[in-house]
Amino acid sequence: MNVMGDKATLLETGRFAQPADREEPGAAAEEERHRPAAESGDVEAMSVLGAMLLRRGDLDGAEPQLRAATAAGDRAAANNLGVLLHQRGYADEAAGWWRIAAVAGSAAAAHALGRHHRERGDEPAAEYWLRQSAEQGHALGAYALADLLEHRGDAGAERWMRAAAEHGHREAAYRLARTLDRRAAQQRPEGALRAETGASGDPTATGTRRKLPPAAEAEQWYRQAAARGHRRAALHLGAILERRGELKEAGRWYLNSAKDGEARAACALAFLLRDAGDEESAAVWWLRAAQDGDGNAANALGALHAQRGETQTAERWYRAAMDAGDINGAYNLGLLCAEQGRTAQADQWYRRAAYAGHREAANALAVLLLQGRDAAGAEPWFSKAAEAGSVDAAFNLGILHASRGDQGAALQWYERAAAGGHTEAALQAGIARLRDGDEQAAERHLRCAAGGGSAEGAYRLATVLDARQPPPGPPALGECVSERAECEEWYERAAEQGHRRAQVRVGMLAAARGDVVSAARWYREAAEAGSRNGAFNLGLLLAREGSEPEAALWWTRAADAGHGRAALRLALLCARRGDLVEGQRWAHRAVELGPPEVAERAGRLRDALRSELSA
């Protein structure tokens, strides 16, 4: 048989001819150019003309040309005749011609024959012919073979998937990237190999180089598939770039993917736009994604409308999210109902989400039950949420056990929540450890709480560090003033967050340094926030500076708030001024307020004033 080359193979890009409305410009003229040669018996012209007619859907015109060329031994014609017969529904006859072409060396026909056998369930025959096609460098054959081997769990699948990807098969590039991505997720970061690529960074580039680590190679295959229009590859590439902080490029790939109809990319693009401050554009893409069935986008739309006070629209989108299979929709519906005081409905939606494994819904349900004084019903849901990893639930379990007096169990849950980054839990764990006398563990927890923004945590950490400070001695002549201790920095951090006791302490430290202005500022802030110690100390500072009338105002505020020393100061001030009745009243108040040493001194002053008044 005189076998010619595959000059007009349709199977290079698929097994079906293109519709006539996609005919390339000039195709008709090309057909007319080949027709005279075909009519004169030129085998190559008949094969090419038949392929062209098949490509534009003219099966009746293509068949005689292909049969004639096939009879003359043209393997490309035999392959394309198989395509034509397959389109007419004669699969077995098509397979016969594909076999002839494949035996003659047509990689495309071997691929088609392999696909035929796989569709019939004959995997051994399918593997044989697909391997014949793949080994000849046919991209579709390599991909189909990889797919077959992967389905069987054969380790050789990756080799052929890589071969197909290297020959430009975009789905193969995407699936290879997914495989590498999963492998990278399973590996420890320290086990990754250092990448060494050429200037192009192309994983198919030739030359001596080390193997890329899976994550880096996956990214490059995603990039190749995305560049060829693979929308899911563009989505994954965008996600990688977003995690790396390359938001502009990530947005471009998300946009490409979203325009091709990938709802998840539209949703991700919307979040990028929202974070950039463009809420209106974000809403447009969320809407598009939600209408395509993306539950995450529907949830985002629900949250957006809820934020605007459009609760009915928000509820509609939360329900749409739930209908799309996103259980967050039920949880968000529960939150919405709880905010509106619809407790029964909130309970219903929380339960639905919690039974589906939503840990925060389980925690919210437990809180709802606890608010209804059903502690016994709340505890199992708190436990379920905590075991699933909810740090809020672990903290709430700590509170629940503490309320029962079980401090040991409470501490265990506090420390578990603190290990998950819960600031308030770290504070409570630190306080509990201080109560138990474990100062080292307490300091560790308090540092976590303070670092997480807890003013109380910063204050308590400062007190622990402050207690370790040696008592200050008088500075030697010419000695430099020492730098501020760490405890003072934590006191200041707490004070700047409005912690009143910290403000008083910072004021005291400033006063000890002779910084009267700073001391007065911190005392005043504390006093105006309601601190009686701040008011008392501010009065002392003002009195030393000669502003006794203003000092009396702050002492009065402190005494009215229950500060015994402030009441005693007022009693002494009134006595010096000769206002014995008022002095006696404040002295009596100081006796009531204490502490004992103040009460004793105030009692003597009160008795002396009483004697003076009765003399």
The whole domain housing 570 covers 564-614
Specify the pLDDT at position 188.
Answer: 55
467 within domain boundaries = no
580 within domain boundaries = yes
519 within domain boundaries = no
Specify the pLDDT at position 504.
Answer: 94
440 within domain boundaries = no
Specify the pLDDT at position 22.
Answer: 47
Specify the pLDDT at position 200.
Answer: 37
Specify the pLDDT at position 483.
Answer: 61
- Mean pLDDT in consecutive groups of 10 residues from the start of the chain, 615 residues: 34 39 62 84 89 89 90 89 92 93 92 94 94 94 95 92 94 95 77 36 41 88 96 97 96 96 96 95 96 95 94 95 94 94 95 95 95 92 94 95 93 95 95 93 95 95 88 51 76 94 93 90 94 94 90 93 93 88 90 91 88 73
Q: What is the pLDDT of residues 53-112, one digit of tens each?
A: 998 888 998 899 899 988 888 889 989 999 999 999 999 999 999 999 999 899 999 999
Going by C-alpha positions, the residue among 285, 266, 274 that lies closest to residue 307 is 274
Specify the pLDDT at position 42.
Answer: 87
CB burial class (10 A; 0-12, 13-18, 19+) of residue 207?
exposed
Contact present, 417 and 399 (Cβ < 8 Å): no
Specify the pLDDT at position 472.
Answer: 59
Specify the pLDDT at position 171.
Answer: 96
Specify the pLDDT at position 615.
Answer: 56
Specify the pLDDT at position 30.
Answer: 80
| Dihedral, CA of residue 507, residue 510, residue 516 and residue 518, to nearest 10 | -70
Specify the pLDDT at position 24.
Answer: 54
Specify the pLDDT at position 8.
Answer: 33
231 within domain boundaries = no
Q: What is the pLDDT of residues 116-148, one digit of tens each?
A: 999 999 999 999 999 999 999 999 999 999 999
SS3 letters for 329-379? HHHHHHHHHHHCCCHHHHHHHHHHHHHCCCHHHHHHHHHHHHHCCCHHHHH
The count of structural domains within the chain is 1
Distance CA 174, CA 164 (A): 11
> 8: which DSSP letter?
S
388 within domain boundaries = no
576 within domain boundaries = yes
Going by C-alpha positions, the residue among 419, 498, 420 that lies closest to residue 458 is 498
Distance CA 346, CA 262 (A): 33
> 90: which DSSP letter?
-
> 421: which DSSP letter?
T
Q: Whole-structure pTM over 0.85, yes or no?
A: no
Residue 459, token pair as written in the block:
């204050």
588 within domain boundaries = yes
Distance set, CA 269 to CA 228, 266, 287 (Å):
20, 5, 12
